[in-house]
Structure 1
Amino acid sequence: MTVLSNLYKMLNGHFGWADRVYVKSIPSSAPSDSTFIFITDSTQQIKDFGSNTFQNMQYDLEIQVFYSTKSTLDYDSAELDLMRFLISNGYVISNVRGRVQDPDTFQDYQTIIVSKTERGI
């Protein structure tokens, strides 16, 4: 199972404030009055070289939280809850880009980059 699939399984249905989790693409039918999490692959890096090979693979994943246009959710609390959950499951927070507004849907969204190292590949 891929690291992206594992992340989807972890996040799907875990947070009561998120209506859905989308992977790799957001359908055009996704309603702007729902809050959802969108996850995609970012980069992969081979790590820990020795004996003419590598021992580990680091996967970077991008997580975006799109907030409902009608949201009364405390964004900071939701994002901190998400980040704590990720850290407790072995992910490292690499970057938090800051909230912006999608020009098409007018949804505020936050982008969080996480990494996960898989051993023994």
Structure 2
Amino acid sequence: MSAVDDAVEVLNQANIAGIDDIYGNNLPQEAIDSTDKTVVLITDAANDPASFGNNDFWSLNQEIETQIWYSQTLDSDPETIEVSMMKSFTHQNWQVAAVRQRMLDPISKQLMNTFYFSRTKILKETF
């Protein structure tokens, strides 16, 4: 599976209170238009070959970008959601690569934040 698919699965399985919808790669129009749900979008940030030897590589250094837009009617602390999200990834052998500061989305007027998570994926197949 791709890093995005794996990351979406991590968050779906975590079932974090306060996150309403999780999407990989793009948002459907209804999610873009909605300001009453907390929505997460996961996209690829890097997918670099690593562990070279014998004219080949054996792993991928992968990084994903995770953006979260909070519902305008959120009744919980965003930090609680963010810490739960970071713990969900670290418990599945991802590293927190970067966390940006919360800001107000200028279009939707929703509070938002961006995170980067990374992992090294060992390739088992030979191509």
TM-score, normalised relative to structure 1 = 0.92
User: 2:17 — aligned with what?
Assistant: 16
Ranges in structure 1 where 5+ consecutive residues have no aligned partner: none
Ranges in structure 2 where 5+ consecutive residues have no aligned partner: none
Which whole-Å CA distance do the structure 2 matches of 1:3 and 1:80 have between them?
21
- 1:23-82 per-residue CA deviation (whole Å, 9 max, x = no partner) reads 111223221111111111111111122222212101110011110011122111111111
- Structure 2 residue 78 is the aligned partner of structure 1 residue 68: no
Equivalences for residues 1-121 of structure 1 within 5 A: 1-12=1-12, 14-30=15-31, 31-121=34-124
* Equivalences, count: 121
C-alpha contact 2:50 2:61 (8 A) present in aligned 1: yes
C-alpha contact 2:101 2:113 (8 A) present in aligned 1: yes
After superposition, the CA RMSD in angstroms is 1.4
Which whole-Å CA distance do the structure 2 matches of 1:43 and 1:73 have between them?
32
Q: Which has the higher helix share?
A: 2
How far apart are 1:102 and its partner, in Å?
Answer: 1.0
Higher deviation after alignment, 35-44 or 4-13:
4-13
TM-score, normalised relative to structure 2 = 0.88
Identity %: 26
Q: Which stretches of structure 1, 4 residues or more, deviate above 6 A after TM superposition?
A: none
